[in-house]
Structure 1
Amino acid sequence: MSDDDDFMADSDQEQYDFEYEDDDEPADGDVDIENKYYNAKQLKADNPQEAIDEFLGVPNLEDQKGDWGFKGLKQAIKLEFALGRYDDAIVHYKELLTYVKSAVTRSYSEKSINNMLDYIEKTADDSTAYKCMEEFYSLTLDTFQATNNERLALKTNVKLAKLYLDKKDYSALSNKVKEIHKACQREDGSADPGKGTYSLEAYALEIQMYAEMKNNKRLKALYQKALTVRSAVPHPKVQGIIRECGGKMHMSEENWKEAQSAFFESFKNYDEAGSMQRIQVLKYLVLTTMLMGSTINPFDSQETKPYRNDPRISAMTELVDSYQRDDVHRYEAILKDNPDLLQDKFIAENIDEVSRTMRTKAVLKLVAPYSRFTLAFIAKHIKVSISEVQDILGVLIVDKKLKAKINQENGTVVVDNVENADQLQRLQDWTSAISDLWSTVLNEGEGFKLDESQNAGGAFMPGAFDTNMSAAPLRAGGGRLRPQKGGRGGKMSTYA
């Protein structure tokens, strides 16, 4: 591993655990210089202060600026920054940049400076360190713009813009992304295909800014514009950031379907990049599934299936399971037992909608058999406050999903049975109409009238009916009369 590679060491490693160069490093310096440099490296772990002095002594041993002096300054600056000696680090960084013009090759200096900026970005952890880092970026820009190193200048500008985002200095960030976009254009104002990656990174930073500012109008325009960039080959993490912000934008618009799609794409990009943010975005994906009311398990896809039993996602897995089974008690228990879920601001803002949906469904199911109940009764069974129950019932009544009246004085609710009364009245009206029709047909229908001979032969009593048996008219002797075959107005015959 080269001397520069140790700048890329993970931030969780020992701060002074820098690695050694391979034997193919330039070794054309004086033996005393080389020995002093490697002796300083031996001191880093146990005596970093003395190591700094040794590293700073290396450039003084050179007759003219060269590789060993450049390397000695790099190591000294790293240690000074790690120890919080920021003023000293800035002074020596200025000296280091003087080596760029002629003492070392352009490719070597570019790689070394870029890796150093990556290193300090990872190790900076307070406002003083951020201020030092900003000074590093500004010095770097001045140097490489003067030497027409446009690529490193763009990289540094992107890093500086990210620093402004972390500091929430939105004014400086806006100016910086405009500068980056302009640098990514040709003279005629068209996009430069060779700089599309930097342009997309600028879009990602700008999109994050507007997402934090909750400026959805501007965010939506930039999001759509970023998705149309085709000339870039960005790091998948950049795509993950853009898609994540897009998902949050769609969530704020209650466009659950588009949000789900954006979060899924974001998860895949973060997963490809090996970013730990994939776990958080996967939680957002599960949250969106519940808001959609979808019955499809988000862990059924090939990409998410390996995370189904991941302990970092288990709470969200159980939440979506209880939601799809309408188990409000289990749902509430999971939220109570996993308070860390609500530490994420985005989840905390949106989980209330899911909880309200769960509780509303539970209330409707609970009160269905009752015509009268108390607020306390609902609160006890759903395990929420009385005020929350009152709010839920109020929404149900306004939405006409429940016809009831709330008596706030005694905390009772009376279900309005007007609908049932209307149904009963309609049934009674229908029965009365049928009875009238039946009477009209039998009393006035020609098929039931007697001719004169039949009327003379017996004492027929018009209008007499046996309402318990049938509507056939009764003969004086007690027998029933019924029409014989022969059509309308035929003779009546009798049956016992």
Structure 2
Amino acid sequence: MVNQRIDSNMKLILVSLKRGKLEDVLKWVNETRTRHGPLESIVAAQVACAHALSHMGLREYKSAALEFLDVDCVALGDTFDQVILPHDVATYGGLCALATYDRSEIQQRVFENDHTWRALGLAPEIRKIIEDFHRGRYAACLEHLETIKKALLLDMYVSRHVEWLLGQIREKALLEYARPFASLRMSTMASQFRSSVPDLEEELMALNKKNKLEFANVVSIDPQNAKWCFKAYRQMVKIYCRLGEYEKMMDASRKMLKYIKGKYQGDSVYRFLQSLHLDLNRLQKLYEITVEALEENKNQYMTVWFRTCLELCNVLFENRQYTPISKILNGLHKYCQKEDGTSDEDKTRDLRKVYAVEFQLYTETDDNINQKMQELYRKALAIKPDARVHIDHKTIGLLHECGGKMYMAERQWTEASVAFRAAFTNYCKDNNQRYIKCLKFDLLASMMGSNLAPFDTLISEGKWSEFGLALGICANHPEILALKASIDAYQNQDFEEFERALKSNLEHDTIISRCMQDMLQKMRTQAILNLLEPCTTKKIGISFISTKLGVTEDEAMELLRLLILNNGVHWLVDEVEGYVVRVD
């Protein structure tokens, strides 16, 4: 009865193998082994072969190696020839083992294991390959693999796995060859692997990127080859960044920057930094390290140094660290000057970028804003665009944005609106998302200038212009819709909704926050007038006014005091009784 069940399971295993149902093979193998006690040697060998083939088919190569090399090939003989022969068992097991075992495992499980060593004798070419690899004869090992590759590609079981297995063996050979060396000439290694230096460099660059420990073993190859070392350490930076090991990433960055040679690698550093995904603090540190390294050879990498400094300033603005920006600006201004201190006409485009950074700094810090910003704004706009280069809409947009904030600080609402509109147009041309922010500022400036329907006005004024077309596209943007909701609340005298909507949209900007407070006060003052003018009674409770406005009684009293002083209304505040009283 037991033998019948075993025979039945073996038939199911064979059918599953032929149909490629590898999970079913594993199921029937486990059932055969666990439910029917110790198996006869022939059956056990056949079951082990099926188990190994299923593991290999599922790309579980280490498990496949263990099963293949544990098969009793003497018992197996040709009893399973409809599936596999002992020579195939040794071939598959040897290749899987060489691809997945580390050096100590090969020593213990292959060379020191008599059963495995004898089994590999059934495929002498595979045993010779493993022996060459273990003895450090990597070129011979790889040449033998290339010799048998064509035959392997015709094998029904292993053909799908040949490229991965041979590729993995070559990677291990490269790594093991380099491991004993503190330094190694690339030319020496290339000759050992029958490769050219450029091809070997590319191969090492692509080598096992997901395993930083193995890559670290080859990163010190050929320290005299600056190009190689630069590429190697750049790859290490990328690997450590992906793994979240940021201290090691910074250390690799410092080493990478020591090997910058030539303009191409300088530009490569700039592009590489922009490709990394880091939080602001780590990105700031990385840019600082880079700027410090470029400072040492600034004359050679002036353009890269300048662009990197600008990026560092952007990160510092995001982190609200303004003091270092002032120091950087001194160097940026010198970059845009000739040796005699006069402006370099060939760097007017760069000078505009420096002005934009300086302008932004004054805007954020409110440092002597009235005088310095107006002077700077005039200088920046006076720079004529260079017809030889593409217009830098991003920088021009930033200048106009800062100009709009400057005018808002001066309460010059019309000028502010014009500046924000110019910023909006330039940001749209640059496809920069700050265009939404500038449109919001434009709407706010229009509201502050007593235009209670600013969005409708902007649409009608710019209907057929480039501005009007761009405005129409973003009319349904969520942030613009939210601001329009606050405008509706303003018109409907809904104080709570207006204040909530406006704060969520605009309060994070220094100058805009101040304007927002003015706007709220203006709105509340108008609301008080709307309460007082139609009133026929002699007095109104201050608590009633504070409730209507959604403010405290002290805030309501202060608003009433300023209203009486500024607007000359015929009411007086009775603080003792808590009323505002009409004066005939």
Q: TM-score range by the shorter chain?
A: 0.5 to 0.7
Partner of 1:123: 278
Q: Secondary structure at the match of 2:341?
A: coil
Flag the 1:131–1:395 CA change in 2: closer, same or farther, 3 A: same
- Calculate the aligned-residue CA RMSD, in Å: 3.0
State how far apart, in whole Å, the 2-side matches of 1:82 and 1:133 are.
Answer: 18
CA contact (8 A) 1:193 1:231 kept: no
CA contact (8 A) 2:489 2:498 kept: no
State how far apart, in whole Å, the 2-side matches of 1:339 and 1:161 are.
Answer: 27
Flag the 1:125–1:394 CA change in 2: closer, same or farther, 3 A: same
Q: CA deviation at 1:94?
A: 4.2
What CA deviation, in whole Å up to 9, does each residue of 1:409-456 have, x standing for no partner?
Answer: 222233222xxxxxxxxxxxxxxxxxxxxxxxxxxxxxxxxxxxxxxx
Partner of 1:244: 401
Q: Work out which of the residue numbers 289, 302, 307 in structure 2 matches 1:150.
A: 302
What CA deviation, in whole Å up to 9, does each residue of 1:349-392 have, x standing for no partner?
Answer: 32222222222222222222324132233334444433333223
Flag the 1:337–1:392 CA change in 2: closer, same or farther, 3 A: same
CA contact (8 A) 1:379 1:385 kept: yes
State how far apart, in whole Å, the 1-side matches of 2:312 and 2:565 are.
Answer: 52
Q: Secondary structure at the match of 1:117?
A: helix
Q: Does 1:290 align with 2:455?
A: no
How do 1:353-432 residues align onto structure 2 when only pairs under 5 Å count?
353-369=518-534, 370-374=536-540, 375-417=542-584
How do 1:415-454 residues align onto structure 2 when only pairs under 5 Å count?
415-417=582-584
Amino acid at match of 1:341: N
Q: Percent identity?
A: 26
CA contact (8 A) 1:181 1:202 kept: yes
Flag the 1:363–1:186 CA change in 2: closer, same or farther, 3 A: same
Q: Does 1:340 align with 2:507?
A: no
State how far apart, in whole Å, the 2-side matches of 1:401 and 1:318 are.
Answer: 33
State how far apart, in whole Å, the 1-side matches of 2:550 and 2:248 are.
Answer: 61
Q: Work out which of the residue numbers 196, 204, 211 in structure 1 matches 2:356.
A: 204
Flag the 1:365–1:264 CA change in 2: closer, same or farther, 3 A: same
State how far apart, in whole Å, the 1-side matches of 2:270 and 2:286 are.
Answer: 16
Partner of 1:7: none
State how far apart, in whole Å, the 2-side matches of 1:196 and 1:166 are.
Answer: 26
Flag the 1:39–1:175 CA change in 2: closer, same or farther, 3 A: closer
Q: Work out which of the residue numbers 467, 471, 476 in structure 2 matches 1:304.
A: 471
Q: Work out which of the residue numbers 315, 340, 345 in structure 1 matches 2:482.
A: 315
State how far apart, in whole Å, the 2-side matches of 1:262 and 1:187 are.
Answer: 35
CA contact (8 A) 2:405 2:416 kept: yes
* Structure 2 unaligned spans of 5+: 1-194, 463-467
Q: Work out which of the residue numbers 178, 202, 220 in structure 1 matches 2:374.
A: 220
Flag the 1:58–1:290 CA change in 2: closer, same or farther, 3 A: same
CA contact (8 A) 2:571 2:580 kept: yes
Q: Secondary structure at the match of 2:357?
A: helix
What CA deviation, in whole Å up to 9, does each residue of 1:382-403 have, x standing for no partner?
Answer: 4443333322322222124311
Flag the 1:67–1:264 CA change in 2: closer, same or farther, 3 A: same
Partner of 1:37: 205
How do 1:9-28 residues align onto structure 2 when only pairs under 5 Å count?
none
CA contact (8 A) 2:356 2:395 kept: yes
State how far apart, in whole Å, the 2-side matches of 1:399 and 1:98 are.
Answer: 66
What CA deviation, in whole Å up to 9, does each residue of 1:255-307 have, x standing for no partner?
Answer: 11111111112222222222222222222221111110025533413132222
CA contact (8 A) 1:270 1:277 kept: yes
CA contact (8 A) 1:33 1:62 kept: no
CA contact (8 A) 2:404 2:417 kept: yes
Amino acid at match of 2:449: M
Flag the 1:131–1:149 CA change in 2: closer, same or farther, 3 A: closer
Amino acid at match of 2:519: V
State how far apart, in whole Å, the 2-side matches of 1:167 and 1:379 are.
Answer: 39
CA contact (8 A) 2:205 2:235 kept: no
State how far apart, in whole Å, the 2-side matches of 1:89 and 1:382 are.
Answer: 55
Q: Secondary structure at the match of 1:186?
A: coil
Which moved further from structure 2: 306-315 or 82-91? 82-91
- TM-score normalised by length of structure 2: 0.57
Partner of 1:89: 249
Partner of 1:71: 231
CA contact (8 A) 1:200 1:234 kept: no
Q: Does 1:135 align with 2:289?
A: yes
State how far apart, in whole Å, the 2-side matches of 1:411 and 1:86 are.
Answer: 63
What CA deviation, in whole Å up to 9, does each residue of 1:72-92 have, x standing for no partner?
Answer: 321111222444544433443
Q: Does 1:281 align with 2:438?
A: yes
Which moved further from structure 2: 277-286 or 232-241? 232-241
The structure that has the greater radius of gyration is 1
Q: Secondary structure at the match of 2:342?
A: coil
What CA deviation, in whole Å up to 9, does each residue of 1:232-266 have, x standing for no partner?
Answer: 55632222222222211211111111111111122
CA contact (8 A) 1:184 1:199 kept: yes
Q: CA deviation at 1:197?
A: 2.2
Q: CA deviation at 1:61?
A: 4.7
Q: CA deviation at 1:219?
A: 2.3
CA contact (8 A) 1:141 1:157 kept: no
Aligned length: 372
Flag the 1:381–1:296 CA change in 2: closer, same or farther, 3 A: closer
CA contact (8 A) 2:309 2:328 kept: yes
CA contact (8 A) 1:90 1:136 kept: no
CA contact (8 A) 2:208 2:214 kept: yes
Partner of 1:486: none
Amino acid at match of 1:391: E
Q: Does 1:112 align with 2:278?
A: no
CA contact (8 A) 2:280 2:315 kept: no
Q: Secondary structure at the match of 1:414?
A: strand
State how far apart, in whole Å, the 2-side matches of 1:40 and 1:379 are.
Answer: 69
Which moved further from structure 2: 158-167 or 131-140? 158-167
CA contact (8 A) 1:37 1:58 kept: no
State how far apart, in whole Å, the 2-side matches of 1:293 and 1:338 are.
Answer: 17
Q: Secondary structure at the match of 2:581?
A: strand
- TM-score normalised by length of structure 1: 0.67
CA contact (8 A) 2:487 2:498 kept: no
State how far apart, in whole Å, the 2-side matches of 1:245 and 1:137 are.
Answer: 26
Q: Secondary structure at the match of 1:230?
A: coil
Q: Secondary structure at the match of 1:185?
A: coil
State how far apart, in whole Å, the 1-side matches of 2:319 and 2:446 are.
Answer: 33
* Structure 1 unaligned spans of 5+: 1-26, 44-49, 418-496
